[in-house]
Amino acid sequence: MSNMNKAVVIGAGIAGLITARMLSDYYKEVYIVERDELSTTPANRQGTPQSFHPHRVLPRGHMILERYFPGYTNDLLDHGAHPSDAEEMMLVNQFGTLVVRPPSGSASSSRALLEWVLRRRVQNIHHVHFLTNTEVTGLMSSKDQQTIIGVYTKERNQNKQEGMLTADMVIDAAGRTSKVIKWLNLLGHTVPDQEVLKVSLGYSTQYYKIPPQAEKHWKSVISDAHPAKGIGTGTLMRIEDNIAGTLLFSAGGEHYPSTKPNEYKEELKNLGTSKIFEIVGNLEPFQGPRGYRTSESIRQHFEQIENWPSGLLVLGDSFCTFDPIYGQGMTVAAMEAETIANCLEEQRSNPQPYFERHVLHRMQETIEPAWWLSSTADLRWKGVEYIGATPLKGVTFAQKYIDLFTKKATELATNGDSRFYLMQFLMNSLVLPPSKFFNEKILTMILNDNGSPEEKQLRTELGVQDPQLFQQRIEEIIPSFDAAFDERLKDVLMAFEQ
Ligand SMILES: Cc1cc2nc3c(=O)[nH]c(=O)nc-3n(C[C@H](O)[C@H](O)[C@H](O)COP(=O)(O)OP(=O)(O)OC[C@H]3O[C@@H](n4cnc5c(N)ncnc54)[C@H](O)[C@@H]3O)c2cc1C
């Protein structure tokens, strides 16, 4: 524990909880201010409307959660969550269907249960204090406005009592409805242009009870979207207590998944597979369908504010939002919290003069692969548009490369070799750096002159024939993301070095 005194975290969502846990290693007191009342049992709540929808933790996020909350998976299992490797999962894409057994060691649950498990751990840390039913209404700054010295608060009960909480560090983890931009404006800062993915996405989720007699027909299913054909994503997964959820997703704004039970059922038939429709025929509808729509994913560029105040950081959805279908949001929040921890460690031995701005730069490096991968995938949908200071690098090439790779990996996996399929899964899970996936060796493996449309398209995008030039060309086209991957992933990466 260092001599830093007090930190305040705004918001007790997933990002806020991981951050408070991480800060408890560095600060003598950590306050977490949450506008909702937090229940003593797992429950959805007003401040996190997304929690109705299925939330999965990617392997990178799982690794970080196990670091900060050792054994949290066992807590989930003790409260009815479903072990990830308990049964086979069917994966469907435009090139084929695979049945795999997911890796062991994780559990699937509702977001409410996950949040409750993490919250109970944080509540048990003696120097972390929760102020609930209390809204942060503004940032307190020094007279010269160069330093944030705390937050203004207002209770949400009848008294509406206003208060102040001083702090050496304030971290905004207030999610999509964060007011941090308004507060920065009040301090005289002009917030730089954001990167925006105009995604116009729609979700619709329904839950079912799995009766005992339906167990024999049960399988988890992920049916990938095929945007060129207007086919959306569909998933069927268990959460806790023998409850399963189906999720329909599409982007581009031309069609939004229905929230009307009969139409929803029909739409389950029209996915890449009818398997989900068949399985839910044996289940008992329980809750939903309920929808969620958003027009944009937004990535802030606070690191570009030259006189960014000291004592203030931002993370989670208030820093960058992602298309939820790729399951990245909580994992990226965990990666950002870990980045802050790394910077706090480095600050001890090698102090940086503009610490907070330096951290924001490092967090951008952390975010980069997730933002690029999900944007590249979403830009396959007609109607999705990227708006940024410079075009997103390598999108068309990456889409063609991924298509050909997926085709090859699916073929191999159908014949019993799932190594390449696993490789793609680990990249999308933010464990494997994209450079291990986009390189000359893999390219040579997937280009085998079979004259397929996918291969022809990729060769056109590549623009060179000589294999000697492949690596150089790939490095010109695809951004380098290696700063987002650290020592801790060494063991996983070594498996792919041979
Ligand atoms: C439909 C949908 C599905 C998703 N599925 C997944 C998934 O499968 N996997 C995944 O990793 N991510 C998923 N996400 C993203 C995920 O929900 C978030 O990225 C993640 O929870 C991190 O959010 P956060 O903690 O930053 O914000 P939130 O979880 O939104 O929490 C913000 C908290 O701040 C509080 N708050 C806000 N303003 C104030 C204030 N002024 N004062 C005090 N408190 C305040 C709110 O009440 C809330 O508790 C999904 C998102 C959506 C919309």
Nearest-angstrom CA–CA distance, 213 and 316 = 41
Residues 362 and 466 in one domain: no
Residue 215 in tokens: 């167990």
For residue 93, tell me if it sits in a domain: no
Mean pLDDT of 272-281: 96
Helix (H, G, I), strand (E, B) or coil at 309: coil
Please report, for the domain that includes residue 321, its CATH number. 3.50.50.60
Q: Could you tell me the CA-to-CA distances from 440 to 13, 376, 429 in Å, in that order?
A: 41, 20, 22
Asked whether residue 62 carries a pLDDT value surpassing 50, the answer given is yes
Q: Each residue of 1-22: pLDDT tens digit?
A: 345 799 999 999 999 999 999 9
Looking at residue 173, what is its pLDDT? Answer: 98
For residue 324, tell me if it sits in a domain: yes
Q: Decide: 12 in ligand 1 pocket, CB within 6 A.
A: yes
Residues 169 and 37 in one domain: yes
For strand 169-172 and strand 312-314, is the pairing parallel, antiparallel, or unpaired? parallel
Q: Which residue has the tokens 């009766």?
A: 211
For residue 428, tell me if it sits in a domain: yes
Neighbours of 127 (CB within 10 A): 13
Q: Decide: 174 in ligand 1 pocket, CB within 6 A.
A: yes
For residue 101, tell me if it sits in a domain: no
Nearest-angstrom CA–CA distance, 267 and 324 = 20
For strand 96-100 and strand 89-93, is the pairing parallel, antiparallel, or unpaired? antiparallel
Q: How far is the CA of 51 from the centre of ligand 1 (A)?
A: 8
Q: Decide: 257 in ligand 1 pocket, CB within 6 A.
A: no
Residue of 132, 160, 299, 317 with the most ligand 1 atoms within 8 Å of its CB, for mutation? 317
For residue 134, tell me if it sits in a domain: yes
Looking at residue 86, what is its pLDDT? Answer: 87
By 3-state DSSP, what share of the chain in percent is helix, strand and coil, each rounded to 5? 40, 25, 35
Residue of the nearest CA to atom 37 in ligand 1? 174
Question: Mean pLDDT for the chain?
Answer: 94
Nearest-angstrom CA–CA distance, 104 and 101 = 9
Nearest-angstrom CA–CA distance, 410 and 93 = 8
* Domain count for the chain: 3
Q: Decide: 15 in ligand 1 pocket, CB within 6 A.
A: yes
Q: Decide: 60 in ligand 1 pocket, CB within 6 A.
A: no
Asked whether residue 491 carries a pLDDT value surpassing 80, the answer given is no
The answer to whether the bond into 289 is cis (omega within 30° of 0) is: yes
Q: Decide: 36 in ligand 1 pocket, CB within 6 A.
A: yes
* Burial of 67: CB neighbours in 10 Å, binned 0-12, 13-18, 19+: middle
Q: Decide: 133 in ligand 1 pocket, CB within 6 A.
A: no
Please report, for the domain that includes residue 231, its CATH number. 3.30.70
> 151 and 32 in contact (C-beta within 8 Å)?
no
Q: SS3 sequence, 214-229?
A: HHHHCCEEEECCEHHH
Nearest-angstrom CA–CA distance, 459 and 480 = 21
Q: Decide: 201 in ligand 1 pocket, CB within 6 A.
A: no
Query: What is the domain extent for residue 480?
Result: 395-494
Q: Each residue of 20-29: pLDDT tens digit?
A: 999 999 999 9
Residues 221 and 331 in one domain: no
Residues 481 and 434 in one domain: yes
Q: Which residue has the tokens 């700054």?
A: 141
Which is the closest atom of ligand 1 to the Cα of 61?
11
For residue 388, tell me if it sits in a domain: no
Residue of the nearest CA to atom 20 in ligand 1? 330
Q: Each residue of 161-213: pLDDT tens digit?
A: 999 999 999 999 999 999 999 999 999 999 999 999 999 999 999 999 999 99
Looking at residue 90, what is its pLDDT? Answer: 95
> 92 and 275 in contact (C-beta within 8 Å)?
yes
For residue 258, tell me if it sits in a domain: yes
Residue of the nearest CA to atom 50 in ligand 1? 324
Which is the closest atom of ligand 1 to the Cα of 176?
30
Residues 288 and 167 in one domain: no
Mean pLDDT of 399-416: 94
